[in-house]
Structure 1
Amino acid sequence: MTDHSGTDDTPTPALTELAEAHGIATSYWSFFGQHVQVPATTLRAVLAAMGVDTDADPQAVLDEMADAAWWEFLPPSLVVRQGSGEVVVNVQDGHDVRLQVKLEDGSWRDVAIPGQQPQARVVDGEIVWRLHIPVPGDLPLGWHELYAQQIPHGSASADRTATCTLVVTPTRLAPPPSRPGHGGRAWGLMAQLYSVRSRASWGLGDFADLADLASVAAESGADFLLVNPIHAAEVVPPIEPSPYLPATRRFVAPLYIRPEDIREVAYLDPSDRARISAAHATVAASDLDPERVDRDAAWAAKRAALEVVFTAPRTAARQAAFDAFVSEHGEHLADFALWCALEEHYAEVDERPEESWDIRSPLVAQLRIDLGDRVAFHTWLQWIAQEQAEAAQAAALGAGMRIGVMHDLAVGVHPKGSDALSLRDMYAPGITVGAPPDMYNQLGQTWGQPPWLPGALARAGYAPLRDMIRGLLKHAGALRIDHIIGFFRLWWIPDGLGPAAGTYVRYDHEAMIGVLALEAHRAGAVIIGEDLGLVEPWVRDYLSERNILGTSVLWFEMEGDRPKPPEHYRTALLATVNTHDLPPTAGYLAGEHVDLRERLGLLDQPVEEARAEAVREQEAVLSALRERGLLAEGATEEQIIEALHLFLVAAPSQLLGVSLVDAVGERRVQNQPGTDKEYPNWQIPLADSDGEAVLLEDIPGMERYRSLTRSVDQALRDAAY
């Protein structure tokens, strides 16, 4: 093995250049303002995950890369903004080139090749000319194909051909819609869907509850309802509680199906309907449990009921709709359903064959046949789940919302999930994503998710990204992108090195944001990027330029030791008082987050200091509220929560989010960072300030809910004049 570094693990100049050529950061500025040089060990591990031969001399690999780039006739894919962009074409000496675009509608266009003085390079003894050809400015938005033919001088036959995906994207998205009288701004509720149960739920909130909650919020004047990711998780226990560690981001969780709402239930005989009622009865009482959402129990009950419904005959029209759904989703759906069947098949096996993790293996090919009945069942589940998700969005719009359901996109997927199986070549082996050390996590964070390979995405024409976004926007009016910085760069951590030994890897943000913008434009959807934390300053400007909204949380927006005046907030923004990683405002005001961290052993300072610091943070904000006349001395908890939201109304931000937990007085945090089994993360059902379960039917009649939502809605109307 070639020695790439000194004894202190410092990378050589050639290794540094090789890493940077692959978008790997060889140094970075830490959260603490330190300039950190990435060790050679990390660089080699990341390069190896990208398929680079790290045993070869780095300079030789660089030379091969340069030659390969010149020999490449067309790039693997090209994403441009409408009316701009160019394609680089490399042509052998003694040849002409012809370019054509096959548009998405099937028609063809010739691409004019203007005169120019091309660059030249000798590759393997041949002269290669590099042309920079403008993409026609009048191409429509869409997914097109670019074709190139290399034609020898004096001959009409093509000597060499190539094709690449050409994506033409909008420069800027439209602003979010809003109701008349709201001054072009909108507000909405934010909720963890699983936590919002009704008297008809099966132990956790579902798509029927989503439709009803959207209607309740719309009646209060809300234009959107943001919920946690609804991505599919495990189909056998234990089901991962975190919605941010899904099995796939391309399909939705059957866990959220309401069995009784499936049309075929109406045609079941009495005995089968009784079986469904009996299954529901096993979990119905848990809807009143204020302590814990039990996904495993809920899914066991639902699966028993759904297997009964699956056997019911379908009408010709329903069967045709199902067949169309299967045809539309094709191989991706078949692979996901196969993964579900494999998980069931190996659920009781102590040692699963390694071959079963390779979707192209002979073993998996045979199991696809042998488990055909279970594959069919899980295929049907997706049809039902997506039908009900679409019905929820239709209900939200029908109730008067201008945006409707706002879904949430997780950063990545489970390393043993469906996407990791069927999209194996898209992910970096031996790598997990996370975050470098900061003031909140001084050792850094590991999220347990494999990152996409930038080169593999480009070679696939960004189809995996397109399919993921398109699928979510079929039943939503908006999409929140968790950690949208991952479209720009991600913190890669090689296995065994720990999060502090990771480094940043850059992605082609222009391509990825372009694909996101195109799919959002076509769906008429709003995009919100969660851009909290360590963000390069230019990124927020870039997102605003394309009218992709950012995110601000009141408690994080400070100027020195004072809260930032809301008038200084960005316009292209979703502004909120809190987030799911913070305690509800009632709990924060009561200092319960400090008490919890003390109980869990998470404090890195004496508890008295932590409490005093929390009081100082709160007082800084409350003083600003008093100065504006929003808060009187001796105000109640409810009055403080309302004042905090009215403070945000003064911002120019296009969207304002109101947490449902704040509207009902819940005090417990949904997710306590820094914990795994120590705290029931993502399992806390909705409750009031007394710890009593709050059901969906209770919400419209709660004075606390009515007062907060009425105040926010009226304040937005007043601000419009």
Structure 2
Amino acid sequence: MSRTVSSTTSPEIHQLASAAGLQRGWRDVEGNEQEISDMALAGVLHALGHETGSSRQIERSLAGIAEQTHGLPSMLVTEVGLPTALPSKASSAEITGEDGVTQKIAVENGVLGVVSQPGYYDLKLGRRCIKLAVAPRECPWPAPDTRRMWGTSVQVPALRGVVPRAFGGFGELAAAAKALGAKGCDAMAINPVHALFPGTGEDYSPYSPSSRTFLNASMADPALLGFPALPPEASDELIDWPAALPKRLAELRAIFAGLGPQLRAQINLASGDESEALGRHALFDALDCHFRPGGAKGWRDWPAKFQRPESAAVKRFAKDKAEEIEFHLFAQWMARESLAAAHRQSRDAGMDIGLITDLAVGVHLAGSDTWAMRDAMLQGLTIGAPPDPLGPLGQNWCITGFSPKGLRASGYRPFIEMIRSALRSAGGLRIDHAFGLARLWVIPEGEPSSNGAYITYPFLDLVRLVTLEAHLAQALIIAEDLGTSPSGFTHAVTSRKMLGMRVLWFERAMDDGFIGAHDYPANSVAMTGTHDTPTVAGWWAARDLDWAEKLGRLAEGTDRTEAEERRDWDRGLLWSTMTGSSERPAPGDTDAVVDAAVNHIAGSSSVLAITPLEDLIGEMEQPNLPGTTHEHPNWRRRLPEPLDEIVRKPDVAKRMRVLSVR
């Protein structure tokens, strides 16, 4: 393996980087060891609040880190049956569970004795009291018996209902669940339905949300809750988000305006049962609606006196705009109850799992989470991916996430609330880029991706907390593990029965062929594709190459003819793996290939097989083309018909039967 070495080195910078949780190197997709320059390390350290300009500054930064890590944390995280080392000299301990029952736990030589029941506890150590989280050893296993389960993945806005609307919401999701459940489907994996900025269609990517703890209120469906249905409207092949979202917000406002005082009181009471964070989010949405007409795109464009939730100006705004804040609480209540109704419909329709929600890896830089939880979030840093041979420039996703330091200081409360919210109305959760539980590539704002570094997270604590929340919700966990895995990641998640993802296109053998269905591991989800990959029909017909050529995205040094030759070779490899035959269909004959791909994952050893709706219907186009924004109609495509009509089509019904009987 080759090794890239920086031209200058500073042991002091390296010591500070290590103390701050930064990794000086990483292994790229080809197995080469790469090293980060001291200049890049210093840039990331500066963004984290650590000065590096002189030896004295570095000493002060090291002393500050040591002070922060000294003493008892806000929360200890452990597992059932395991003794836990205590950063305390206490000789005895008491734990009190959420049921109010208190029990003594032995402490010997600074080690807390085992706790046998998973859950959250108050841990009393002498005169000190902290939180204790005790995780089970494993997440719930998805299969109720020995049969392999199957599902489909769904982009909720793409769904159509009997009544035409500009985009699909939780009402269309509930109807789709009923149609699919009747055909033996066990699960519907949906795109993230996190909160976006209210009523604006400028930032509509589900993977760049305003908040990951709250919901996209535009998905709410009043009819699911007994309110008058939303009015019908024009329904095109592509969603016009800038027109559709403001209109939907106005429709929700009209419903709110018609509420009687008794119903308002009931909704306010239900919202009051939620965390204080919900009120801050509603306040943020009210502020965003107030400032956005003036050109502000998130809180960083607001006047300075409104940029902190605790400011006097924000408190005055909250008092003066109480009615507006109440509307946004109502919108969140309606979205929450609508999603719950859709999940109930999926279970009532016979699905063993029901909805599988999706957790985005980060949030918008100027959204609700970064405003309301400033101390818990990374500041001045964006998330992306490092440069490597497959992506020489690296990637900057222009989002941010939790701060490792902030998570520990908060006792992981924001993380727990986020996971709990995602599992509230679901039978499972997919964690996008689950490697982010262990490390994230962070880049100083305004810098190229090459000036970033990996920052480590308290992985064991986070994976245990996910396991505990999955246990409490009795839900499965899918850890998206596509790419180069951090050391120790695979064992940690698989030993806890989190499911990895095995996507057809990436399951290649050493000779570059495709692996057989029976080579897929049991503790995985077998998939014909994801929202970021070509559909089966699109790949076979080279539709993805059409887009690559159009946008100048063919591999460097490769023209269309060479790309076609490579694709033709790969077609042969795929077809022979799936069917054992050398006589393959022509590039324009996609139906037989889609059938073979569905049959392939249906015959896999994976406990769960998922076929995206786009593959069930033989669609050419993919929902999202990574690395593009407006060049490709990302997150805008609609399905041709409602699901209850689609599932009756002979080719679709045949594919679902294959999934059901294998």
TM over 0.5: yes
Return closer, same or farther for 1:630/1:176 CA change in 2, 3 Å cut-off.
farther
Residue 24 of structure 1 aligns with an amino acid whose one-letter code is L
- Describe the shift of the 1:248–1:59 C-alpha distance in structure 2 as closer, same or farther (beyond 3 A): closer
Q: Is the 8 A contact 1:81 1:169 kept in 2?
A: yes
Q: Following the alignment from structure 2 to structure 1, what is the Cα–Cα distance between the partners of residues 190 and 15?
A: 43
**CA 1:439/1:656 → structure 2, altered by over 3 Å: closer, same or farther?**
farther
- The one of 665, 668, 675 equivalent to 2:618 is 665
Are the aligned partners of 1:9 and 1:41 in contact in 2 as well (CA < 8 Å)? no
Q: Report the TM-score, using the length of structure 1 for normalisation.
A: 0.85
Deviations 1:654-678 (A, max 9, x none): 1100111112121112111221221
Determine the structure 2 residue equivalent to 1:681. Answer: 634
The residue type equivalent to 2:578 in the other structure is: L
Cα gap change, 1:110 to 1:201, in 2 (>3 Å) = farther
Deviation at 1:258, TM superposition (A): 2.2
Q: Is 1:575 the equivalent of 2:490?
A: no
Secondary structure at the aligned position of 1:335 is classed as helix
1:521/1:201 CA distance change after superposition, 3 Å: farther
CA distance, structure 2, for counterparts of residue 62 and residue 577 of structure 1: 49
SS of 2:214 mapped into structure 1:
coil
Separation in 1 of the partners of 2:571 and 2:320?
Answer: 61
Corresponding residue number in structure 2 for 1:709? 656
Contact 2:536 / 2:597 at 8 angstroms: preserved in 1? no
Structure 2 residue 282 is matched with structure 1 residue 337: yes
Contact 2:222 2:338 in 1 (8 A): no
Q: Describe the superposition over 1:328-387 as per-residue Cα deviations: whole angstroms up to 9, x where unpaired.
A: 213111111111111111022246312322112222121111221111000001111111
Q: Does 1:404 align with 2:358?
A: no
Between structure 1 and structure 2, the one with the greater Rg is 1
- 2:293 alignment partner in structure 1: 348
Q: Contact 1:73–1:162 at 8 Å: present in 2 too?
A: no
- Asked whether the equivalents of residues 74 and 148 of structure 1 are also in contact (C-alpha less than 8 Å), the reply is no
2: CA distance, partners of 1:314 / 1:177: 45
What is the letter of the counterpart of residue 680 of structure 1? Answer: P
| SS of structure 2 residue aligned to 1:602 | coil
User: Which of these residues, 466, 469, 474, is aligned with residue 416 of structure 2?
Assistant: 466
CA–CA distance in 2 between the matches of 1:165 and 1:585? 49
Question: Is 1:649–1:656's contact at 8 Å kept on the other side of the alignment?
Answer: yes
Q: Which residue of 2 aligns with 1:129?
A: none
Change (3 A) 1:566 1:541: farther
Task: Give the 3-state SS of the residue equivalent to 2:206 in structure 1.
Answer: coil
**Percent same amino acid at aligned positions?**
30
Contact 2:439 2:456 in 1 (8 A): yes
Tell me the CA shift for residue 63 of structure 1: 6.3
Length-normalised TM-score, structure 2: 0.93
Letter in 1 for 2:21: G
Question: How far 1:21 sits from its partner (Å)?
Answer: 2.0
Q: Return structure 1 stretches of 4+ with deviation > 4 angstroms.
A: 318-321, 629-636
Counterpart residue identity of residue 30, structure 1: D
Residues 508, 363 of structure 1: alpha-carbon distance in 2 compared, 3 angstrom cutoff? same
C-alpha distance in structure 2 between counterparts of 1:630 and 1:423, whole Å: 58
> Distance between the aligned counterparts of 2:61 and 2:364, measured in 1?
34
Tell me the equivalent position of 1:120: none
1:141/1:169 contact within 8 Å kept: yes
Q: 1:448 is paired with a residue of what secondary structure?
A: strand
2 CA distance for matches of 1:575 and 1:711?
14
Q: State whether structure 2 residue 22 is matched by structure 1 residue 16.
A: no
Instruction: Kindly provide the amino acid, as one letter, of the partner of residue 148 in structure 1.
Output: L
- Among residues 439, 452, 455, which one is paired with 1:505 in the alignment? 455
Match of residue 419, structure 1, among 346, 355, 369: 369
Matches within 5 A, 1:68-83: 68=67, 72-83=70-81
Q: Letter of the aligned partner of 2:105 in structure 1?
A: V
Distance 2:422 2:513 in 1: 39
Counterparts of 2:202 and 2:600, CA distance in 1: 40
Task: Give 1:45's match in structure 2, choosing from 43, 46, 61.
Answer: 43
Q: CA deviation at 1:18?
A: 1.8
Could you report, residue by residue, the CA deviation over 1:581-604 in whole angstroms, capped at 9, with x for unpaired residues? 112111111011101111111123
Distance 1:358 1:244 in 2: 25
CA–CA separation in structure 2 for the residues paired with 1:141 and 1:609:
56
Determine whether 1:492 maps to 2:442: yes
- The runs of 5 or more residues in structure 2 that have no matched partner are 1-5, 296-300
CA contact (8 A) 1:227 1:406 kept: yes
User: Contact 1:236–1:343 at 8 Å: present in 2 too?
Assistant: no
- Separation of aligned partners in 1, 2:164 and 2:310: 40
Q: Which runs of 5+ in 1 are unaligned?
A: 1-7, 117-131, 150-160, 266-275, 687-692, 717-721
Q: Give the whole-Å Cα distance in 2 for the aligned partners of 1:139 and 1:59.
A: 44
Matched, 1:222 2:146: no
Alignment of 1:479 onto 2:425: no
Q: Secondary structure at the match of 2:213?
A: coil
Are the structure 2 counterparts of residues 601 and 69 from structure 1 closer, same or farther at C-alpha, using a change threshold of 3 Å? closer
User: Are the structure 2 counterparts of residues 66 and 662 from structure 1 closer, same or farther at C-alpha, using a change threshold of 3 Å?
Assistant: closer
Cα displacement (A) at 1:56: 5.7
* Contact kept? 1:19, 1:25, Cα under 8 Å: yes
The equivalent of 2:256 in structure 1 is 310
Give the match for residue 145 of structure 1.
122
- Cα distance in structure 2, aligned partners of 1:538 and 1:21: 20
